[in-house]
Amino acid sequence: MSIPSLRRAAMTDTHQADSSSPEHGPLATLTPRIKAGVLAEALPYIRRFHGKTIVVKYGGNAMTEERLQRSFAHDVVLLKLVGLNPIVVHGGGPQIDDALKRVGKQGSFVQGMRVTDAETMEVVEWVLGGQVQQDIVMMINEFGGKAVGLTGKDGGLIRARKMLMPDKNNPGAQLDLGFVGEIASVDPSVVKALQDDQFIPVISPIGFGEDGMAYNINADLVAGKIAEVLHAEKLIMMTNTPGVLDKNGNLLTGLTASKIDELFADGTISGGMLPKISSALEAAKSGVNSVHIVDGRVEHCLLLEILTAQGVGTMIKSH
């Protein structure tokens, strides 16, 4: 079975068994000889990316379905074991919404951005920096990795400032969304120290301001900026779609900066994909070798994207 065949098998496999066991999943029916061939085909990619930093924005279905959670953790550990340096930046919108409901609070959004008052920010910190982050850390460690959780406040990682959003209904006016921030600067020293000691950093998108307050930051923006500052080889953003689609719903497997500008202008890219693609494009323009928008609903999508010629999404390059 070739790598493309394995990709098809992974995309159609619906086995619900424990993905940590080698007897289950898309490789279960392959002979040892075929498995060896699959590994041999991955070798050039392992060699090419050995020692390189790979930043992964983790979110969507891959964070909420146990089968996909385990597949993700398995992939991250395997990438580390073969010599790559993965960094995980995670979101947690659905988990925040659930937590707000439990405290009797309804989340509200303006132009797609969460309004974050002081009470909501407390919940955001507890959910992202506590519950969600520790679930990811424990699952990676369960598969044999050495994950460490961070927020942007740890080691001065992410300095933030309050974000004021232009009001699309009132030109010239700005909207105050509360404790929603944008990135002022990133100091990657703590991340580099963890990488040097063979740990896998797991980062929650919370920054701190000069006012001493914590700010909730879009996870796509954090992943993009960290990839840029660390001169990452790849930035991989996991989504609930096959990648970037054209107006007819067809997958666009490769995009350049100029093509993305066209897709922005004609409305093909809109809504929740705007910050994701904007961050991807900025990272590509700022030195990240390639950015990938991948379908997090596909088991082992990280391995398929990084260690095969086929990939499972859209690749974005600056030119």
- Identify which has the larger pLDDT, 95 or 113: 95
Kindly state the average pLDDT of the residues 281-302.
Answer: 88
pLDDT at 16 over 50: no
Residues 6+ positions from 292 with CB-CB distance below 8 Å: 234, 235, 236, 237, 305, 311, 313, 314, 315, 316
Between residues 9 and 60, the one the model is more confident about: 60
92 is in an annotated binding site: yes
Does an H or E element contain 33, and which?
helix 32-49
pLDDT 10s digits, 158-216: 999 999 888 777 888 888 889 999 999 999 999 999 998 999 999 999 999 998 899 99
Between CA 295 and CA 298 the distance in angstroms is 6
pLDDT > 70: percent of the chain: 88
Helical axes 133-142 vs 66-81, angle rounded to 10°: 60
Give the pLDDT of residue 29.
59
Q: Enter the pTM of the model.
A: 0.85
**192 or 318, which is more confident:** 192
34: pLDDT strictly greater than 90: no
- Tokens 């509360």 — which residue? 178
Beta partners for residue 176, in sequence order: 164
> What is d(CA 200, CA 299) in angstroms, rounded to the nearest whole number?
21
Which residues have C-beta within 8 Å of that of residue 317, sequence separation ≥ 6?
Answer: 254, 255, 256, 284, 290, 291
Q: Report the distance separating Cα 96 and Cα 106, nearest Å.
A: 10
CA distance 30 to 12: 15
61 labeled binding residue: no
d(C-alpha 203, C-alpha 91), whole Å: 9
Is 114 among the annotated ligand-binding positions? yes
Q: Give the tens place of pLDDT for each residue, 107-144.
A: 788 766 788 999 999 999 999 999 899 999 999 999 99
> Is-contact 309 5, C-beta < 8 A?
no
Q: What is the DSSP string of 149-209?
A: EEETTGGG-EEEEEEEEE-TTSTT-EEEEEEEEEEEEE-THHHHHHHHTT-EEEEESEEE-
Residue extents of the structural domains in the chain: 90-133+151-227
Determine the pLDDT at residue 183: 95
Residue 274 has pLDDT above 90, yes or no: no
- Would you call 194 exposed, middle or buried from its count of C-beta atoms within 10 A (0-12, 13-18, 19+)? buried
- Judged by average pLDDT, the poorest of 82-91, 241-250, 292-301 is 241-250
- How many Cβ atoms from other residues are within 10 Å of residue 58's Cβ? 26
> What was the pLDDT predicted at 114?
83
Q: What number is the average pLDDT over the span 66-70?
A: 91
pLDDT value at residue 9 = 42
pLDDT at 234 over 80: yes
Structure tokens that stand for 291 in this block: 């950015």
So what CATH class is 90-133+151-227?
Answer: alpha beta
